[in-house]
Structure 1
Amino acid sequence: MTNERWLIALDLDGTLFDHDLRIHPRVAEAIRRTLAAGHVVTLATGRMYCATRPFAEQLGLTAPLICYQGALVRDETNTLLHLTLPLAITREAIAFARAHDVHLNVYLDDVLYVAEMTPEAEFYHSLSPMAPVEVVGDLLAFVQREPTKVVFVCDEAQTPALLAEAAQRWGRVAQVVQSHARFVELTHREVSKGRALLLLAEHLGIAPTRTLAIGDNRNDESMLRAAAVGVAMGNAAPEVQAIADWVAPPVHAQGVAAALERFVLNEAGAGA
């Protein structure tokens, strides 16, 4: 039987925090009050579990986390979902990256593997410094099992063409998303943050009508559509704002706090 708790899923980059990776005190306090009121808060991100867990610990979150765009849902002791990218697609992506001189990240067992430490790998690591990186040389020879996902990292100007090429090549057999101005990701074709959110709600005994999702990028669209209340950040892409039930202030104006105050904490005047 369901109860009246809310399940709130928060994207990280561009939603919970900006490029500095710092959670504003107002946002942290709103999350603390939400938890104290008996609601459940999780993080829903493209990041690795090991790179997401420190933020959950900082905020006092204990619910399973949605990582790798929804390919992995787990906490410290249990894994609710883990969908992996077929090995054949992985090898095609590695070969494509090599042929087109595009950097590729491969994620296996919550470790990031790269062929070499390129400027693109350094850039990625600067955004996710908690993520372990292993340089293995020949990725084709190294990868013998299905990874959780792969990520192409390129210059921002190259992303639209790379996204279109990836969608054409693998869009029918894998999930292809842009998660950052410089990132194009491939995961199992059934992966989405929206699916993971509903799975977690069922696991926790929370009705879908009591789910709220907050995000800013195209990879957040599925969970904004799946949630009873989908909130886009004020800094979100226009396409994301267009499908949202409400547009919160941007990340630098603590939009997550405004959304929690408006929809969960019900504070008078919040988000006005």
Structure 2
Amino acid sequence: MSIKLVAIDIDGTLLDSAGQLSEGVKKALQEAKQKNIRIVLCTGRPLPGVTEYLKALDLLSADDYVITYNGSLVQNVATQHTVFSANLTKNDYLKINYIAQKLGVHFHVSGVDAIFTANRNISPYTVHESTLVHMPIKYRTSDEMIHNDYEMIKMMMIDEPEILDHAITQLPAEFKEQYNIVKSAPFYLEILHKGANKGIALKKLAEHLAIEQAEVMAIGDNENDMAMLEYAGIGVAMQNAVEKTKAVADYITTASNDEDGVKEAIEKFC
């Protein structure tokens, strides 16, 4: 079967190490679009952190969709119609915030239009996330978080890699059973609704569009991309991907994200 939908991770995949979209990748995706292949950005970022790339790739029509928050939200780009969503609750916040405090790691919550943290000493990685996704940071105490109706889509433990890695080894077994937990960067551990990941979101979107699993290709580089690579008819790992992601891929590009690896995958399979 021919490919009808390509889901592409952003950081470490679509973009190079400097966070830039190359002309080679842009041209390859434009050519794929001309063949009526749907291009869907599938990212851990919220919508404000994706908009500039949707514009650059001309993915702003009523036929275009985007997967954000690591699969917690699937939307039509033009209408903002929600195809699928899986948010976290106030009870989730209390449990996850308590564990983060117990383990001594920084913690924040990603909402629709802001990042919330109860850490008085705000982590530089929270600041980095705020800059990356173009969302403001709002300091809110735990009491304020549970006594207001903030939409909490995903939660993140963030810290120095060695501190975070040690904390991960200390997570309770039941915690891992209650949530979908993915590492999206050496300093980011993302906690999502159990029913949310990039693979589930991609499946929901493909079904919505009446596209068969075999007609879907997914391209990624990190652990949070594994589920969508496993779901897709063709799962492509970038040359710069982590070993766990390469292990589940059907194909590994010979080129990294700094060498237009996405272009290689598009030209080979589309």
Provide the TM-score with structure 2 as the length reference.
0.90
Equivalent residue of 2:109, what SS? Answer: strand
**1:256 equivalent in alignment to 2:262:** yes
Superposed counterparts of 1:102-141, under 5 Å: 102-115=105-118, 116=120, 117-126=122-131, 128-136=132-140, 138-141=141-144
Aligned 8 A contact 2:105 2:163 in 1: no
**1:190 equivalent in alignment to 2:195:** yes
Equivalent pairs: percent with the same residue? Answer: 28
Deviation per residue, 1:173-231 (Å, 9 max, x gap) = 11111111101111110111111111111112222111000000111111000000000
Q: Return the alpha-carbon distance in structure 1 between the equivalents of residues 13 and 3 of structure 2.
A: 22
Q: Return the alpha-carbon distance in structure 2 between the equivalents of residues 54 and 79 of structure 1.
A: 20
Aligned 8 A contact 1:7 1:39 in 2: yes
Letter in 2 for 1:259: A
Superposed counterparts of 1:197-216, under 5 Å: 197-216=202-221
Q: Aligned pair in 2 of structure 1 residues 40, 201: CA closer, same or farther (>3 Å)?
A: same
5+ residue gaps, structure 2: none
Letter in 1 for 2:256: P
Q: Return the alpha-carbon distance in structure 1 between the equivalents of residues 86 and 235 of structure 2.
A: 24
Structure 1 residue 141, shift from structure 2 partner: 2.8
Aligned twin of 1:222: 227
Aligned twin of 1:64: 65
6-15 vs 55-64, greater mean Cα deviation:
55-64
Aligned 8 A contact 1:166 1:176 in 2: no
**How many pairs were matched up?**
260
Deviation per residue, 1:18-53 (Å, 9 max, x gap) = 342210110011011111111100011111122112
Equivalent residue of 1:166, what SS? Answer: coil
Q: Aligned pair in 2 of structure 1 residues 119, 72: CA closer, same or farther (>3 Å)?
A: same
Deviation per residue, 1:221-263 (Å, 9 max, x gap) = 1100000000000011111111111101211111000000000
TM-align CA RMSD: 1.9
Q: Return the alpha-carbon distance in structure 1 between the equivalents of residues 17 and 144 of structure 2.
A: 35
Aligned twin of 1:37: 35
Letter in 1 for 2:138: E
5+ residue gaps, structure 1: 265-272
Letter in 2 for 1:70: G
Provide the TM-score with structure 1 as the length reference.
0.89
Aligned twin of 1:93: 96
Q: Return the alpha-carbon distance in structure 1 between the equivalents of residues 228 and 113 of structure 2.
A: 23
Q: Aligned pair in 2 of structure 1 residues 6, 53: CA closer, same or farther (>3 Å)?
A: same
Aligned 8 A contact 1:86 1:188 in 2: no
Among candidates 10, 15, 22, match of residue 20 of structure 2: 22
Deviation per residue, 1:75-97 (Å, 9 max, x gap) = 34201111012322211112233
Structure 1 residue 158, shift from structure 2 partner: 2.0
Deviation per residue, 1:136-165 (Å, 9 max, x gap) = 2x1343244461110011101123222233
Aligned 8 A contact 1:91 1:140 in 2: no
Aligned 8 A contact 2:25 2:260 in 1: yes
